[in-house]
Chains A and B, each alone.
Chain A
Amino acid sequence: MKKHYFSTILVLFLILPFTIFAGGEQEADGPVELNWYAHASTFNSTQEQIIEAFQEENPNISINLIELPENTSDKLQALLIALRSGDDSIDFFNADVTWTPLFASSGLIDDVEKDFPASERSAFLPSTIDAASYNGKVWGIPFRTDAGVLYYRKDLLNEYNKEVPETWEELKNTSLEIVTAEREAGNEMYGMAGSMKQYEGLTCNAVEWFYSNGGTVIDDSGNIKINTPENKEILALIREMVELDLYPEGFSLTEAVMYGHLMFQGNQVFMRAWPKAYALSMNDESSNVAGKLGVSELPRGKSGEMGHSTLGGWQLFVSKNSTHKAEALKFMKFYASEYAMKLHALNDSYLPARAALYSDEEILAANPFFGMIEDILANAVPRPKTPFYAETSSIIQVEVQKALNGSKSVDQALEDAQVALEKVGE
């Protein structure tokens, strides 16, 4: 009896791969199954709703949603390992705006020039198309954009009779005055916070400082221009603010989540964050400042003309190894349709990549500050566009942190960053 079991199992093992294989073959003319590597589902399950709507229209295509890790660089690692091994089970995937040069030059994805023609692109915000382009071709279909904004405590600014700061200098003075007075009164209070831990968030913040003071990191013709008077001036100002204790002591550890704590507890005047923090601040359970936060454009530096926000956001790439590209593109376009972006905007306060949605009344009613975001996005700057982005970003993070924690002078740090950046890719 025992022997029979064993041989049955053995036979099953031998046959199973063939049946699976045969099933795969058949699917070519029958229903197509696509694997989409995406963000983890939000609590509203927006992604699932969109998939359902798509499958109703296209009963021949079914979409498997596979969740990528939470952290952006872990997402990249997971995708790269799978794609480089030639794995054809990934059909299309969510990609950060900074990944375009990397994936385009590595040959792991196909461009979408033909399937996403200029006539369709014109409905998207130009900055999102720009972020999806590299070497004269468009590689991704954008579905979500993002930009940093300045949050401020309306009640505190009123109490101290202050305007919303338009320059970094004003921001420093205003926060110094409020913080000093509040601390004298025995209250815990900080002036400003942003993402300043050694991670991608710091690069976003630093790029904003530089551009808002008329500086840059890599100029339009591809030259490294980080060691400039404009960048030195603004970085020195941020360091001064650190020395004045306007930033929380543990500033070099603050990730988006952590500095939100102080702001939401009511112990901070200003904060640089992404728009999604607004939805969090309105949640009474986790926030003491619901309704007290104002949202504004980021301030400009002394030598700058206007505040610039770093452009964030996500797009869809189609894998070179996918065996169902036509079907994949069909869903990708559906996911970047007005219907899908609007659903995400209403459910998750994601910023749509399509310009028309910023005047959609339903969306504006749910997210009142979206009207202002359109201007901010029009002036948003992309992070340095290079296939060696990870190295570039890591150099910016390390040198800026050294300048801020005082282990190097501002001049020295930017000089070292310049030298190191020029060597990237060698």
Chain B
Amino acid sequence: MTRKQMGYLFITPTLLIFALLAVYPVLKTIGLSFFEYRLQFGEAKSFIGFSNYYKLFSTPRFYASLRFTILFTILTVTTEVGLGLLFAQFMNMNYKGRSFLRLVVLIPWAIPTIVSGFIWRFMVNDQYGILNHIFESVGIIDSFIPWLSQPATATAVLVTADIWKTSPYISLLVLAGLQNIQRSQLEAASIDGANAVQRYFSIIFPALIPILATATLFRLIQSFKVYTIIVALTNGGPANSTESLTLYTLRTYFDAGNYGYGSALATVTFSSNGSHCTYVSAGNSKQD
């Protein structure tokens, strides 16, 4: 047995598990998306070709949830990467209490999403929320705002809650990258007369790009399938204005029992996520 054959032998169990738990369900879902298959009709399935997709692309609710998902993804991922870079710099500096800071920054990330969702819901409550108290006492608002009752403010709260929770994760990844940069390289640059800004953009930032690409990829995928924080905070309301693609899919599939159409939605979400992956990892390998 050659070394290569041996390698294949060793990964076979993993591949089998992967095929069983990941590939099979995906293929099955794609398959179901071509059928009219509803709980209400028992187990009867009828093949309807692309009708579910045709219906999907002519449903305003699909576009509304797609628009919300894209907006949410762009706002959260860009802010989180920006803040992550900033926090990582602070965490990497040399001062007293640095390890304490590194610990504290991680707290939001360590709290389960559903719990942090409920914390935020208390904080933005229109009757007794602390956020309203603070804003009113410093004079930003005149009277209490029902944050989660209007589409714009509800979206803002969701985005903020997600940023609060996930920026620490990015900053931790970036911190790992920062610690890999050779000190001697930076010293050499300052001897050659490069100032802090030049050092940052010519040495530090390029060294961080592979890590940022990975972090962005993770966040893009996670953000695009956002579900938990929405369920905890708005449950898609008011009037479906904060309904994400995943929430729409789950409601169609499990609440309405429309398995065929729900599978079509899941397939669309899956393939758009797949295309991010290919795009970002292609960009990443170019860097290498």
Contact = CB atoms under 8 A, between A and B. Distances in A.
| Chains A and B bind each other | yes
Contact of A249 (B146, B151, B251, B257): B146
A251 B239 CA distance: 13
Contacts of A76: 255
Given A106-B39, A107-B42, A250 B125 contact: yes
A23 B235 CA distance: 45
Contacts of A398: 239-240
B126 A250 contact: yes
A118 B127 CA distance: 51
B149 A80 contact: no
B256 A252 contact: no
Chain B: interface size category: 20 to 34
Interface of B (DSSP majority class): loop
A402 B126 contact: no
Contacts of B145: 249
A39 interface: no
Given A253-B146, A401-B237, A105 B126 contact: no
B257 A102 contact: yes
A410 B42 CA distance: 37
Contacts of A258: 127
A407 B238 CA distance: 10
Chain A: interface size category: 35 or more
Interface of A (DSSP majority class): helix
A77 B127 contact: no
A324 to B, nearest CB: 23
A103 to B, nearest CB: 9
Nearest to A103: B39
Contact of A394 (B125, B127, B251): B251
Nearest to B251: A394
A192 B145 CA distance: 19
B239 A387 contact: no
Interface in B163-209: none
Given A198-B235, A198-B238, A405-B238, A253 B148 contact: yes
A105 B40 CA distance: 5
Contact of B254 (A80, A199, A250, A405): A80
Contact of A199 (B149, B151, B235): B235
Contacts of A77: 254-255
Contacts of A292: none
Interface in A223-270: 248-253, 258, 261-262
B160 interface: no
B42 A405 contact: no
A425 B260 CA distance: 12
A405 B150 CA distance: 8
Contacts of B125: 250
Contacts of A160: none
B257 A253 contact: no
Contact of B126 (A84, A249, A401): A249
Contacts of B236: 198
A249 B240 contact: no
A105 B41 contact: yes
A76 B240 CA distance: 21
A391 interface: yes
A104 B149 CA distance: 37
Interface in A371-402: 387-388, 390-391, 394, 397-399, 401-402
Interface in B135-166: 144-146, 148-151
Contact of B40 (A199, A251, A388, A402): A388
23 contacts: A76-B255, A77-B255, A80-B39, A84-B39, A102-B257, A105-B42, A198-B239, A199-B235, A249-B149, A250-B146, A251-B149, A252-B237, A252-B238, A253-B126, A253-B146, A253-B238, A388-B40, A394-B255, A399-B239, A401-B237, A401-B239, A405-B150, A405-B238
Shortest 8 CB-CB distances between A and B: which pairs? A250-B126, A250-B146, A198-B237, A401-B239, A387-B40, A107-B42, A249-B146, A390-B255
Given A84-B39, A261-B127, A262-B127, 4 more contacts: A198-B236, A252-B149, A253-B149, A391-B256
Interface of B: 39-43, 125-127, 144-146, 148-151, 235-240, 251, 254-258
